Structure 1
Amino acid sequence: MKMIKSTLAIACLTALVSTSTLGQEVGALQGVLTDKSQTSYFEGADIQIKELGASAVSRRDGSFRFNNLPEGNYTLVVQYLGAPTVELPIQISAGQTLQQAVVLAAANASLENIIVYGQRAGKASALNQKRMSDSIKSIVSAGSIGQFPDQNAAEALQRLPGLSIERDQGEGRFVGIRGIDPNLNNVTINGVNVPSPEGGVRSVALDVIPSELIQSLEVSKSVTPDMDGDAIGGSIEVKSLSAFDKKGTSASLTVQASQNQLRDEISPKISGSLTTMLTDTVGVAAALSYFDRSFGSDNIESNGDDEVEQRYYSISRQRIGSAVNLDFRPDMNNQYYLRTLYSSFADDEFRLSNTFVFDGADSEIERGSKDREETQSILSITAGGEHQLEDWLIEYQVGYSKADEDEPDALYYTLVGEGIEIDSDMAGPIPTVTQEAAAMDLSNYELDEVSFEKNHAEDSETMVKADFTRYFDWQANQVEFKFGGKYRSREKSADADIIIYDGDFDDIDPSIFASSTPDWGLGDFGPGLDRSFMREYYGQQSNAFEIADLDSEVESNGASYVNQEDILALYLMGKIDLENLRIVAGLRYEDTDFSTSGMRVELIENEATDIEEVVNTLWESAKSYSHLLPSVNLRYEFNDKLIGRAAFTQTISRPKFEDSAAFQIIESKTEEDDGEFVTEREAEVGNPDLEPYEADNIDLALEYYPGDIGILSAGYFYKSIDNFVIITDVAGTDGWEGFDEVMQPINGESASVSGIELSWVKGFDNGLLLSANGTFTSSEAVTLLDGERYETSLPNQSDRIGNLTVGYESEDVSVRLTMTYKSENLEEIDGDLIRMEDKHQQMDFMGKYFINPNMHVYFNAINLTDEPFYHYFDQPSVNAQYEEYGRTFELGFNWKL
């Protein structure tokens, strides 16, 4: 490995000094690629100077540039999937920069139709960018996002090869790349790393980003040295709108109403965007989205043995997203920008639950409620500039991002009924529960516990970076040498304030909380609980309740901590075109300083000394580590239709914040047993000494582009992961002597994942569009169960992931039927049971009718087959969780300028 790193470093340094054209009289070419109306730009076009073998790729504003061109007459060749090849004569003069506009136009107006009607335009843009990329990428353009009934960035990404989503209440939330844990992905918005609003994790819930604010989504499955190294799964880049994406003024407005069948609620949505050039050099882009969705779910869970829980959810989710972006481009060589994105996600949830514990005459029922509104927000601000100084490109950027999660007034009630006859067959995905009539009368219950919680998590990051690129020729080959650095300072905090009431309830008749029986479709639920009255009652009577001081203190202090992480990254890389082979290679160095501060909280209950107390001790820890990460990406163009790729990269992923946080929750109980006092000690603790995950990644891919809007591709990948984190019982080990159980994250043995990706996209002249992809993987990991090594697959790793789309488009209509599939996967090891997530197959439909080129109405049907979410223990007949969401129908109108 040291030899590989040394070779890469020497190669990059050699590229720096081998400037054979230095001192020669050369010229340059700058251009813009537009449509015939000169209102739309084309990104990802392959632009070549035939006689020199030089090539460039058009950017999102259609611009391209060639440096170090010898004086002479040449032929400029432009290739873009879905459009005929364009050839133009050009003349390069020494010491001058030629300005050249290139128009893509087609006979039979086929290209114009592609531009006007988004189904083909979005696919063409994404495929062209993928084809010309230096690394292995999958891309979703803004046009493609609008062609699916996807509500957020996570759902838009699920259509790509190798990507799957984890759902919450039926909505896509976290994105997995090739089945890897979403915590091992890197997510950026306009180049700024996105912190996670949820406490304890690194994974970014992409459902907080409305799809209307997005210009494109790029998923890099192999990284280059100028990208962040913490991307074992991959890197997801969210790009928002820019005024220079189109010429002149553009605008859009969408109005929608949707209905969820399960709760029969109507939900409104409105969104709009505007891009305009204030002057020839200053542009502004703005977007706003509002969606208030009311829905719910019916749920039944079990522990696989002697407990069943029924759950009824009523949910309202409100999303507000906005983006305002400014661009100043005084000329083609200089540009400055300010990018902002704000998203707020308010989740108002009311949950009713019935928990049945089967123990013969000692059986009991717990009827409970959860009433809370949780708000998550993400703010991203970045400013920067780019300057082309002859053979140098200088880029710099500063950014600030902040995410938080606020749960200010969560209220929980628990009612307990004893001596009531209940029974269950504990069989099948939906276990049947039988209960006598007394179970339906809340006067047969007692109020057991009330808790009130204020929880807040915050994650903020400040970033500054600079990149320097030098262009030159070496032995008639194009060479780029690039180097730069990035500094990130991040702070993650979690703060909990929990009050638990467990007494002075004797005079309360729980029947005062009763409400009508909820419409729960999985069996007999019994009476509901009145949400508004319970909150009103708490406000009036809580001062009379008895507070469980010790439990409240343990829960509050044990869930509060602050983590600080500072990362300094430096890199150098070289890119060279050797005829049909492109090599991108280099080194990235990342140095990490990590510190954490929390509490060691011990609950002591000692009958021998008659002591009950909580002992709080401040716990602080710090750790530093560094990594040198080499990478090589190869792109070989067999011909203009067939491209081969290969990559070797080393990446890391830092542990989840809750795993590495300084917290300890210890329970120590001393009780009399047969005349002797026996002490039992249990603990749940973090591990600030965790090492980051480290991975060697190998990727191979073959891509065939038939010349129209289509691709046939196959790829292989392999990842070897060291320092894989597992949670296990470390009782009896150093520092934990005398404990009966201590659950702690530790670095385990190595894990590996390998697989193949297959993809086919084909657009036909008659308007038919077919798309299919599948990813087939296998993984191995070692965890500990009852102190013994246990070989299993990686958590959340599905062996099979697939998408199928059938679409048709004409000037009047656009329809598509889509299916996503994810096979079963290991969720976790729960005690001595293996918890599995069952396979999930969902079908969605989208239909559009174009009133004219600027207006259309649409109808979406989501989850057509009413697919449930199902977890099981060991075998599919043993329920762990079964949840139904119902179908959702959307009717909307869209106008574009």
Structure 2
Amino acid sequence: MTHRSRSARPFHPRRTYLSRLIEGVLVTGMTTVPFAALAQEAGDAEAQIQQLDSVRVSGTYSRSLEQAVDLKRDNVGFSDSIVATDVADFPEQNLAEALQRMPGVTIERNKGLGARVNVRGLPSDYTHVSINDLATASGSGGREVEFDIFASEIIQQVTVQKSPTAADEEGGIAGSVKISTARPFDYSQRQFVASFEGAHNSISDVVDPKLSFLASDTWGDWGALVSLSSAKRTNRTDATSGINFRPMSRFLGASGVRGSQAEAVIERDTGRQIGNRANTAESNLIVFQDKVGDRVFLNEQDKWGATASLQFRPSRDFSLSFDALVGGYDTTEDEYDAAAYSASSRSTLETIHEYDASTLADYGILVLRDVSYTATQHEFLSKERLGETDFRQYSAALDWRAGSWTVDALLGYSGARKTLDYANLKHVAYAPSRTRWTGRSGETIPSASSAGFDMYASPERYLFEAYETTREHVSDDKYAAQVNVGRTLDLAFLPALRDVQFGARHTDKSKERQYGEAKIGGPAAGDNRWVNSRTMADSALRPIRDIVPGGAYTARDLDWQMISNAYARDTFRYAGFATPFDDAQYYRVDERTTALYAMANLGFDLGRVPVTVNGGVRYVDTSVTSFGYHPMQNPDGSTGYTDAPVSMDGDYSDVLPSLNLSAELRDGLLLRAAASETLIRPAMTDIAYKRTASWSSYRFTDGNPALEPTYAKQWEVGLEQYLDNGGLLAASYFRKNIDGVVINALTGVVPDVPVYNANGTLNGIYDFDVYQPVNAAGSYEVDGIELIAQLPLSAVHSSLDGFGINANYTMLDSSLAGESALGIQTPMPGLAEKTWNLTAYYENARFDARVSYNHKSEYVESIGYNMYPIYRDGYGQLDVSIGVRLSDNVKLSLKGINMTDEATTGYTMDPSFPTMYELSGRRISLGLRADF
């Protein structure tokens, strides 16, 4: 069977529609797919499966939708699935983008690329991800999986489980994403499949290649499979951004002339009287632009992934499999940034040309829209980010059926290694300047002051400040062992009890992080001769349109000259330079979890209605040990760290019940209900025993090993109408009561902390707030509805044969509040209230075409300075795909991503205060696929 669920799925002998995936092929983007067989009405479901012939058919999009419907119907709880063809015939750049068309699933985009997955609008770290039943390491600082490291071509099937059973590994408040790769006995015969694709980005004007292949064969009781996908991606993004609110405490709290002049200018130009300029409760309600930046990003990716599977299956009742998934994801991102930092430590207000006291009057906030500053810090930044991620996962699985007993077991390892190398070449010029909001972002223009200048055309005014470097290495390892035992029952005194299942799982997870930073100030170690003496004009300059491929800057009618990152690396890194790791930034978190569960499946009739019930309970025991350099107070009052790593322990145990019920009210109409309690563990960075400093924000952030999980008590009820032509109409209502949400809270103050400028001079002595992640008091509610319509239109009229639609809509209502220290009520960051997807398609034996539009409503991306909600605007993307089968074995496809060239935009609190305008362009690809 292609669908290898590790949890029992109850069945009822009176069901007349039993679809199973038999001897199929599921290699994304390259090959045919499993055949969804319609079994005849009979008594025993397993006997029905064995009576079916193995049939190999060509994969089509409508066929994949039917298979996904079969999986949804047969699953014990609420779920949705996609299979390989569903992914293959859509344009996508990684696995995240392949999932975005599933009901309730949205993605977070980063410079035009899908990066993380949200289920039902909840943040990505509320989603549990597993590959071949093994929870997946990613190398990130949290628990969320970075889907952009996975090539979708190596994936066989994905199921999003929205209501858990006791047998499912805990960890998904939003849901669990279960990914499967292929095994050799999924195929009825020998397979070799290959595909090649070239993709063009409209801004970078570069063509990127992608190559995939799969080979699989079986001989007797043995089978082997290998697959490989390799892709390059070059994407350019042009953006104006960084235009966030900055509280006026930046200037009003300054000593001497800077603070008094800011007070006088505000009172003179706005009429707002300042009672006590040192009172942040007052100054935080007056805001100005933090920075305006014109930025060009060039992101180059080299990604590969491979799977291998060795399988021994002497009979249908026994299978032993070894599966491997390995891959690499290397990125180089160049960022060229011309920015004006209004909140310069040397500056203050000169003239307020325009202010807004009405838009945010309900919060008492005065916004300075257009301001001249006395000494803006103009910056030209050449930034380079190098990232290397190596991923590997190995597992051995046993599936055995002996009479009425079933046993499956798993031993597995998942690991990721991530290395990040960052550099920032910084040149600065201080001068009067005028910064203001424009229609879609912001701009900086010369000040009326005689000392003002054109920031984009004066490289001789910019002095070298530093060549800053950081280096980070993360190791993420997880080991797991589990065993599940099931027993089919036929009890005369309790005929409704069909089977019981129980099992155990132990996992051992460890995440270690090393970090360091260094600044270069001259041609040798300890030499700072370049600081404030070398200018930009002393380096090789090139127009921005020539440094990156694709020509002129597209976000504005603007051009400027920059220092390329290649030149910066060759020129400013002296021989033998390496960024050292800082012991004080080290941490390691070890987590051990043991889980036991028991559940039962029942089937009975209520009158003429067949009912199935799955109920169970899961016990989880977790212990945590966190190592790091603990912050301490020195005798002189300054803050420091312990000389050696110290550790702190934490532990918790939980009992998590679950119940899933379905009733077939009439043939094809299913009433489904579910209730459960689940959890998501805190991010590893949150429980790490360490302290990090934000010098510009005057705050320390400490880890908290004593954090407990976030819990959810949830229930859902829905109706699902399965149509004879493979269609589906479904509606459900769900509610989640969430406790222990992790928020950052002020837990202390460190007085008299010295802060230094980049050139080593003292900026000032400040009191630093100490923030820690804590479990928030109280409960929060998320409820919503989910609608699904999958309709082959041939049912409407025979002339529409081959046409169809696949649509879904999710709407949320949430009491989850943001963390604004000003008491501004906002949704939880990352939570979108409305998402919908619509795909219209046509296909016949030789031709297919699809048009897909997906939309995610606006959501809070972050909360600036813990006070001002920053929103990401609603985003909609139109994708298209056209395929022509040149022969029975060869298909040509043309695909397009973001055909409307949608911009990514955002704002702070109100759309009249835009924060970003980002263009990543269209992507057109032409591909050829052959299978034999």
Provide the TM-score with structure 1 as the length reference. Answer: 0.84
Instruction: Kindly provide the CA deviation profile for residues 265-304 of structure 1, in whole angstroms up to 9, marking residues without a partner as x.
Output: 1101111111211x12111111100101111101111123
Instruction: Kindly provide the CA deviation profile for residues 525-548 of structure 1, in whole angstroms up to 9, marking residues without a partner as x.
Output: 4212122221111233787xxx9x
In the aligned structure 2, how far is the partner of 1:282 from the partner of 1:701? 43
Residue of structure 2 in register with 1:336 after alignment:
320
In the aligned structure 2, how far is the partner of 1:602 from the partner of 1:441? 46
How has the CA–CA distance of structure 1 residues 733 and 224 changed in structure 2, closer, same or farther, with 3 Å as cutoff? farther
Instruction: Kindly provide the CA deviation profile for residues 646-689 of structure 1, in whole angstroms up to 9, marking residues without a partner as x.
Output: 001000111111111111236999xxxxxxxxxx9842211111
Residue of structure 2 in register with 1:760 after alignment:
789
Q: 1:411 corresponds to which letter in structure 2?
A: A
Q: 2:830 corresponds to which letter in structure 1?
A: N
The structural deviation recorded for 1:829 is 1.6
Q: 1:468 corresponds to which letter in structure 2?
A: V
Mean Cα deviation higher: 655-664 or 799-808: 655-664
Instruction: Kindly provide the CA deviation profile for residues 763-801 of structure 1, in whole angstroms up to 9, marking residues without a partner as x.
Output: 134100111110010111245543x75543222111100
Residue of structure 1 in register with 2:654 after alignment:
627
Structure 1 segments unaligned to the other structure (5+ residues):
1-31, 34-39, 64-79, 106-111, 670-679
Instruction: Kindly provide the CA deviation profile for residues 342-399 of structure 1, in whole angstroms up to 9, marking residues without a partner as x.
Output: 1211111111112202352211201111113201222110002111111100111100
Q: 1:300 corresponds to which letter in structure 2?
A: T
Residue of structure 1 in register with 2:53 after alignment:
103
Instruction: Kindly provide the CA deviation profile for residues 730-767 of structure 1, in whole angstroms up to 9, marking residues without a partner as x.
Output: 23699x9x965112211113222100000100113410
How has the CA–CA distance of structure 1 residues 779 and 437 changed in structure 2, closer, same or farther, with 3 Å as cutoff? same
Residue of structure 1 in register with 2:707 after alignment:
690
Q: 2:53 corresponds to which letter in structure 1?
A: V
In the aligned structure 1, how far is the partner of 2:238 from the partner of 2:468? 24
> Residues 430 and 522 of structure 1 are in contact (CA less than 8 Å); yes or no, is this contact kept in structure 2?
no
**3-state SS of paired residue (2:156):** strand
Are 1:562 and 2:588 an aligned pair?
Answer: yes
Mean Cα deviation higher: 772-781 or 556-565: 556-565
How has the CA–CA distance of structure 1 residues 485 and 256 changed in structure 2, closer, same or farther, with 3 Å as cutoff? same
In the aligned structure 2, how far is the partner of 1:203 from the partner of 1:89? 43
**3-state SS of paired residue (1:731):** strand
Mean Cα deviation higher: 118-127 or 810-819: 118-127
* % same residue: 23
In the aligned structure 2, how far is the partner of 1:54 from the partner of 1:592? 44
How has the CA–CA distance of structure 1 residues 423 and 209 changed in structure 2, closer, same or farther, with 3 Å as cutoff? same
**3-state SS of paired residue (2:748):** coil
Are 1:461 and 2:478 an aligned pair?
Answer: yes
Q: 1:509 corresponds to which letter in structure 2?
A: T
**3-state SS of paired residue (1:144):** helix
Are 1:473 and 2:490 an aligned pair?
Answer: yes
Q: 2:529 corresponds to which letter in structure 1?
A: D
In the aligned structure 1, how far is the partner of 2:902 from the partner of 2:858? 14
Residue of structure 2 in register with 1:387 after alignment:
400
1:210-609 aligned at under 5 Å gives the runs 210-277=151-218, 279-301=219-241, 302-304=243-245, 305-306=288-289, 307-358=291-342, 359=348, 360-407=373-420, 409-419=421-431, 421-435=432-446, 436-437=453-454, 439-475=456-492, 476-477=495-496, 479-502=498-521, 503-506=528-531, 507-511=533-537, 512-518=539-545, 519-523=552-556, 524-540=558-574, 556-579=582-605, 580-601=610-631
In the aligned structure 2, how far is the partner of 1:809 from the partner of 1:43? 34
How has the CA–CA distance of structure 1 residues 649 and 415 changed in structure 2, closer, same or farther, with 3 Å as cutoff? same
> Residues 149 and 860 of structure 1 are in contact (CA less than 8 Å); yes or no, is this contact kept in structure 2?
yes
In the aligned structure 1, how far is the partner of 2:407 from the partner of 2:87? 32
> As a proportion of its length, which structure holds more strand?
1
Q: 2:619 corresponds to which letter in structure 1?
A: Y
Q: 2:405 corresponds to which letter in structure 1?
A: W
> Residues 330 and 386 of structure 2 are in contact (CA less than 8 Å); yes or no, is this contact kept in structure 1?
yes
How has the CA–CA distance of structure 1 residues 509 and 227 changed in structure 2, closer, same or farther, with 3 Å as cutoff? same
The structural deviation recorded for 1:638 is 1.4
Residue of structure 1 in register with 2:95 after alignment:
153
Mean Cα deviation higher: 322-331 or 295-304: 295-304
> Residues 769 and 808 of structure 1 are in contact (CA less than 8 Å); yes or no, is this contact kept in structure 2?
yes
Residue of structure 1 in register with 2:149 after alignment:
208
Instruction: Kindly provide the CA deviation profile for residues 174-206 of structure 1, in whole angstroms up to 9, marking residues without a partner as x.
Output: 1111011111111111011101222x2110011
In the aligned structure 1, how far is the partner of 2:639 from the partner of 2:650? 35
> Residues 397 and 466 of structure 1 are in contact (CA less than 8 Å); yes or no, is this contact kept in structure 2?
yes
How has the CA–CA distance of structure 1 residues 601 and 666 changed in structure 2, closer, same or farther, with 3 Å as cutoff? farther
1:136-215 aligned at under 5 Å gives the runs 136-198=78-140, 200-215=141-156
> Residues 479 and 507 of structure 2 are in contact (CA less than 8 Å); yes or no, is this contact kept in structure 1?
yes
Residue of structure 2 in register with 1:830 after alignment:
864
**3-state SS of paired residue (1:473):** coil
1:841 to 876, 898, 915: 876
The structural deviation recorded for 1:81 is 11
In the aligned structure 2, how far is the partner of 1:41 from the partner of 1:494? 35
> Residues 337 and 380 of structure 2 are in contact (CA less than 8 Å); yes or no, is this contact kept in structure 1?
yes
In the aligned structure 2, how far is the partner of 1:777 from the partner of 1:613? 45
The structural deviation recorded for 1:99 is 9.7
Mean Cα deviation higher: 528-537 or 286-295: 528-537
How has the CA–CA distance of structure 1 residues 402 and 90 changed in structure 2, closer, same or farther, with 3 Å as cutoff? closer
> Residues 720 and 728 of structure 2 are in contact (CA less than 8 Å); yes or no, is this contact kept in structure 1?
yes
Q: CA RMSD in A?
A: 3.3
In the aligned structure 2, how far is the partner of 1:355 from the partner of 1:605? 41
How has the CA–CA distance of structure 1 residues 100 and 382 changed in structure 2, closer, same or farther, with 3 Å as cutoff? closer
The structural deviation recorded for 1:425 is 2.4
Residue of structure 2 in register with 1:75 after alignment:
none
**3-state SS of paired residue (1:317):** strand
How has the CA–CA distance of structure 1 residues 455 and 535 changed in structure 2, closer, same or farther, with 3 Å as cutoff? same
Provide the TM-score with structure 2 as the length reference. Answer: 0.81
Instruction: Kindly provide the CA deviation profile for residues 160-183 of structure 1, in whole angstroms up to 9, marking residues without a partner as x.
Output: 111100112211111111011111
The structural deviation recorded for 1:315 is 1.4
Residue of structure 1 in register with 2:899 after alignment:
864
How has the CA–CA distance of structure 1 residues 353 and 82 changed in structure 2, closer, same or farther, with 3 Å as cutoff? same
> Residues 46 and 55 of structure 1 are in contact (CA less than 8 Å); yes or no, is this contact kept in structure 2?
no
Instruction: Kindly provide the CA deviation profile for residues 828-861 of structure 1, in whole angstroms up to 9, marking residues without a partner as x.
Output: 2212311111100000000001112211101011
How has the CA–CA distance of structure 1 residues 411 and 468 changed in structure 2, closer, same or farther, with 3 Å as cutoff? same
> Residues 165 and 174 of structure 1 are in contact (CA less than 8 Å); yes or no, is this contact kept in structure 2?
yes
How many equivalent residue pairs? 803
In the aligned structure 2, how far is the partner of 1:747 from the partner of 1:577? 41
> Residues 39 and 52 of structure 2 are in contact (CA less than 8 Å); yes or no, is this contact kept in structure 1?
no
Residue of structure 1 in register with 2:359 after alignment:
none
In the aligned structure 2, how far is the partner of 1:267 from the partner of 1:473? 59
Residue of structure 1 in register with 2:265 after alignment:
none
Are 1:793 and 2:827 an aligned pair?
Answer: yes
How has the CA–CA distance of structure 1 residues 829 and 598 changed in structure 2, closer, same or farther, with 3 Å as cutoff? same
**3-state SS of paired residue (1:116):** coil
Residue of structure 1 in register with 2:836 after alignment:
802
How has the CA–CA distance of structure 1 residues 714 and 666 changed in structure 2, closer, same or farther, with 3 Å as cutoff? closer
How has the CA–CA distance of structure 1 residues 41 and 196 changed in structure 2, closer, same or farther, with 3 Å as cutoff? closer
In the aligned structure 1, how far is the partner of 2:644 from the partner of 2:425? 31
Mean Cα deviation higher: 871-880 or 257-266: 871-880
